[in-house]
Amino acid sequence: MDAIEVIVTKRDGGELTTAQIEWVIDAYTRGVVADEQMSALAMAILLNGMDRREIAAWTRAMIRSGERMDWSALDRPTADKHSTGGVGDKITLPLAPLVAACGAYVPQLSGRGLGHTGGTLDKLESIPGWRASLSNEEMLSVLRTAGAVVCAAGSGLAPADKKLYALRDVTGTVESIPLIASSIMSKKIAEGTGSLVLDVKVGSGAFMKTAERARELAETMVALGTDAGVRTVALLTAMDQPLGVAVGNALEVAESVEVLAGGGPSDVVELTVRLAREMLEAAGVAGKDPADALGDGSAMDAWRRMITAQGGDPDAALPVAAETMTVDAPSSGVLARLDAYGVGLAAWRLGAGRARKEDPVSFGAGITLHAKPGDPVRAGQPLMTLHTDEPARFGRALAALEGGYEVGGSASQELLPLVIDRVTA
């Protein structure tokens, strides 16, 4: 086979055969197809799309480029959740131990943040001693001890996707639904979970800005999971305003612990419980109700076991940023608008996120919100507190927030419902 023939087929709007797809993914992983050839093919796919058969073949080929994990040695079903990412989206932290406390195992491979959305591993790494890199044997051991494990994907899992995702990142080819869906699902299917709930975010702080694009992505991923024998369901959820009141690594861990203690912001609690119920249903586990497990301490017990089993100290003080500054209400009224993207960008500029994969993050940096859209506020009242280790960052963070919030006589932001839609096979 020949890379140019594959590129030209897709460039001219044709369908790739399954054999062409299997060959090109394997040859690219082995370095036989060059980066510039794969870039051209990725751009042709972005412009001309792929049909369901092509996407399924592409996903299977990426799975086959590496190992496929297997949890059949466990005595209960497995369930996982994947979020397409958003501002203040710390849901995995309370969710994984909550679902474990209700009777399913949660083997979750997670990522780090890039750009204005945070990454689950960065958040958990703010807990002193906690380790993201585990061998497969360690993963199994943490699962047996705690019922849930959240860790980094090893280099053996879907290596074709690792290489291709890095290439898409620098060639303007990330925003293709077939490529996004196959990238996410190849990793989730290779991870070996028996069931999967997808949280596809919609709004200014999300990858997908409109419900239409989010629904298309959700339907594509649900079809891929279902075809691969993984019981898969997706929720489209709101990301027009930040989730909860904490944005930033250690700040989000603290908020998650509040939820596990039976408190926390109502939107975080509601989404955590809803996703937990979906995961348990998909896994076929009729155990304890998640709302009860948050109230009776059993989810908190699972969290403590999970953190401890990965070297962390659940009782240790979390990192705190060196400097804070408040942003105050310019007048009395209601917080009429609070844009998720502006808050995410500001938290990133305060040091909570990274610009390049190899950059460090500041664990204490971020934003605490004191009001959410629709809340009454008085002139001079703090609307949010900015946290950073480097005060020189405040100026650029304030610039990111400019136009991103508004105090007025009445709420002007038309808010999305927390759960917009549910997509099944």
Q: Where does this chain touch ligand URA (CB under 6 A) — which range of 34-42, 179-187, 258-266, 325-333?
A: 179-187
Query: In the bound complex, what is the minimum distance in angstroms from residue 179's beta carbon to ligand URA?
Result: 6
Comparing CB distances to ligand URA, the nearer of 8 and 174 is 174
The only residue of 59, 183, 237, 256 in contact with ligand URA, by rule CB under 6 A: 183
168 as an active site residue: the answer is: yes
Contact 240/203 with Cβ under 8 angstroms? yes
Catalytic annotation present for 209: no
Nearer to ligand URA, 39 or 368 (CB): 39
* Shortest separation between residue 104's beta carbon and ligand URA, angstroms: 23
Cβ proximity to ligand URA: between 71 and 165 the closer is: 165
Q: Please classify residue 411 by burial: count the beta carbons closer than 10 Å to its beta carbon, then call 0-12 exposed, 13-18 middle and 19+ buried.
A: middle
Q: Which of 101, 180, 197, 214 binds ligand URA (CB under 6 A)?
A: 180
Q: Nearer to ligand URA by C-beta: 127 or 158?
A: 158
* Contact call for residues 321 and 388 (beta carbons, < 8 A): yes
Q: Which of 141, 159, 165, 281 binds ligand URA (CB under 6 A)?
A: 165
Q: Which of 65, 110, 183, 195 is catalytic?
A: 183
The answer to whether residue 213 forms part of the interface with ligand URA (CB under 6 A) is no
In angstroms, the CA 252 to CA 364 distance is: 10
Total residues binding ligand URA (CB under 6 A): 6
For the question of residue 332 being annotated catalytic, the response is: no
**Considering only 150-158, 180-188, 299-307, 355-363, which stretch makes contact with ligand URA by CB under 6 A?**
180-188
CB of 219 to ligand URA, least distance (A): 16
Q: Which of 10, 60, 82, 304 is catalytic?
A: 82
Smaller CB distance to ligand URA: residue 176 or 362?
Answer: 176
Long-range contacts at 11-16 (CB < 8 A, ≥ 24 apart): 11/40, 11/44, 11/48, 13/48, 15/50, 15/51, 15/53, 15/54, 16/50, 16/54, 16/57
If the CB atoms of residues 91 and 102 are measured against ligand URA, the closer one turns out to be 91
Contact region with ligand URA (CB under 6 A), list: 68-76, 177-185, 272-280, 362-370: 177-185
Catalytic site residue 82? yes
The window from 1-9, 123-131, 176-184, 226-234 that contacts ligand URA (CB under 6 A) reads 176-184
Beta bridge partners of 368: 246, 385
Q: How far is the CB of 277 from ligand URA (least distance, A)?
A: 25
Among 149, 184, 251, 386, binds ligand URA (CB under 6 A): 184
Name the amino acid, one letter, at 178.
P
Q: Supply φ then ψ for residue 167, to 5 degrees.
A: -70, -45
Residue 120 CB, shortest distance to ligand URA, in Å, is 13
Query: Which residues ranging from 239 to 268 are in contact with ligand URA (CB under 6 A)?
Result: none
Q: Name the residue nearer to ligand URA (CB basis): 168 or 304.
A: 168
Q: Has 187 been annotated as catalytic?
A: yes
Which residue number places its CB atom closest to ligand URA?
Answer: 183
Instruction: Single out the catalytic residue among 80, 161, 199, 267.
Output: 161
Question: Of these residues, 60, 112, 123, 168, which one is catalytic?
Answer: 168
Binding site for ligand URA (CB under 6 A): 165, 174, 179-180, 183-184
Residues with catalytic annotation? 82, 161, 168, 183, 187
